[in-house]
Amino acid sequence: MAFKHLLAGVAVVALMAPPLLAQDAQPQPQADQAQLAEVDQDFAKEAAQGGLIEVRLGELAQQQAKSAEVKDFGQRMVEDHGQANDKLKQIAEQKGIELPTDLSEEAQGTYEDLQQNSGAEFDQAYMDEMVSDHEDDVSAFEDYVENAEDADLRSFAEETLPTLKEHLELAKQTQEQVAAANEQEQPVTSAATGQPSDTEQQGWVSIGEVLGAPVVNEAGDEVGEIQDVVMKDDAYYAVLSVGGFLGLGDKDVALPLDDLKLGEDEAYLMSAQTEEQLEEMPAYEATQYQPAPR
C-alpha cells in the first residue's frame, strides 16, 4: 500500500435522513463519512489507493520480471494486498466511505515508468520501488494506529501492519538478490559509446569474470593481472598488478579497457608493451578514479 501514491483531496459527503413520525421507532443511524474524523477518512482512502498500486505492480512483475524470486514477490503482493483491499472495502461500505477505484496520477506514472523496463532492469527498478513503498507503508500505518479515532479502521491497520513489515523484509532480501545477480551479469562496456568494448567483441563477459584475469602482450608474455575495473572521465580502465614476486613489490597501473581484448585461455591481450614498460607507468591512484558500475 504505497502511501506516496495518494489522492490529493478527500471528499466529505453528508447523508441526511428524511424526518420520521414521532410515534415510529427511531432506527439506528447508518454510519456515514461525515461521522468519521478526517484522519480516519484520509487513512482509508490512502490505504485503498496504495493497495491498488501494489496489486497492479505485482501483476506487472509476474509478466515482465526475469528473476523467479521477483515473480514470486509480485504474486505475494497480489494475494496479500488483494485480501487487505477486500477487508478495507467491507469496512468502508459500513462507514459510507467511497474508496478510489483507479490509480492516482502519480501512481499511474510509476506504473508506466516500470512498464518500460523488462528483465533484469525491471527486477532492479521494481524491487527498489517495493522497498521504498513498504518503508513508507510501515511508517504510515504505525502513525495511524497511534492517531486513529475509528476503532474498526484502527483494528484493520493493526492487523495489516505485521504483514507490511514482513513484506518490507522480504523486499529487502529480494532486492539484494537481484543486485547480486545483476553484478555477476554486468557486461563491460565502453562508457563513451555504451557499446561493448574491445574486450567484449568475442562475447559478453561480466566484470566479475574480468577480475583476476591475466594480461599478456602480443609476444605471449604475461605482464600483469586485472585487479579492478574503474572509471575516469567517462572511460573504463583496467587496474593491472605488475611486477613483484609472489605478491611482493608489485605495482598497480591503470590501462584503458579498450586497449585490451579477449584472447585465448581467458587471457586478455594488449599491445606489445613489456612488463618493464608497464612498471615505468605512473602508479594507480584510487582517488583519481571512480568504481565502475557493477
pLDDT in tens, 145-159: 999 999 999 999 999
pLDDT in tens, 119-141: 889 999 999 999 999 999 999 99
Spatial contact of 103 and 56, defined as CB atoms under 8 Å apart: yes
- Which residues of the chain does CATH 2.30.30.240 include? 198-291
pLDDT in tens, 54-99: 999 999 999 999 999 999 999 999 999 999 999 999 999 999 999 9
Q: Domain 33-185 classified CATH 3.40.50.10860?
A: no
Give the residue-averaged pLDDT of 219-246.
77
Whether 12 has a pLDDT exceeding 50, the answer reads no
State the chain's mean pLDDT as an integer.
79
Give the residue-averaged pLDDT of 237-258.
71
Exposed/middle/buried for residue 249 (C-beta within 10 Å: 0-12, 13-18, 19+): exposed
Q: Cα–Cα distance between 74 and 55 in angstroms, integer?
A: 8
Spatial contact of 222 and 216, defined as CB atoms under 8 Å apart: yes
Whether 23 has a pLDDT exceeding 50, the answer reads no
Residue 22: the pLDDT is 39
Residue 216: the pLDDT is 81
Residue 162: the pLDDT is 97
DSSP 3-state of 124 = helix
Residue 101: the pLDDT is 92
Residue 34: the pLDDT is 56
pLDDT in tens, 161-205: 999 999 999 999 999 999 888 776 554 444 444 444 444 444 445
Higher-confidence position of 40 and 213: 40
**pTM for the complete prediction?**
0.56
Whether 118 has a pLDDT exceeding 90, the answer reads no
Residue 272: the pLDDT is 54
Whether 10 has a pLDDT exceeding 80, the answer reads no
Q: Give the three cell numbers for residue 21.
A: 413520525
Give the residue-averaged pLDDT of 226-255.
75
pLDDT in tens, 252-289: 888 887 777 766 566 676 665 666 777 788 888 888 88
- 212: region left, alpha or beta (phi > 0 left; psi from -120 to 50 alpha): left
Q: CA 256 from chain center: how many Å?
A: 32
- Which residues of the chain does CATH 1.20.1260.10 include? 33-185
Higher-confidence position of 231 and 43: 43
Whether 244 has a pLDDT exceeding 90, the answer reads no
Residue 201: the pLDDT is 42
Residue 271: the pLDDT is 60
Q: How many CA atoms lie within 13 Å of 290's alpha carbon, on the beta-carbon side?
A: 10
Residue 287: the pLDDT is 86
Topology classification of domain 198-291: SH3 type barrels. (2.30.30)
Q: CA 293 from chain center: how many Å?
A: 16
Give the residue-averaged pLDDT of 6-14.
35
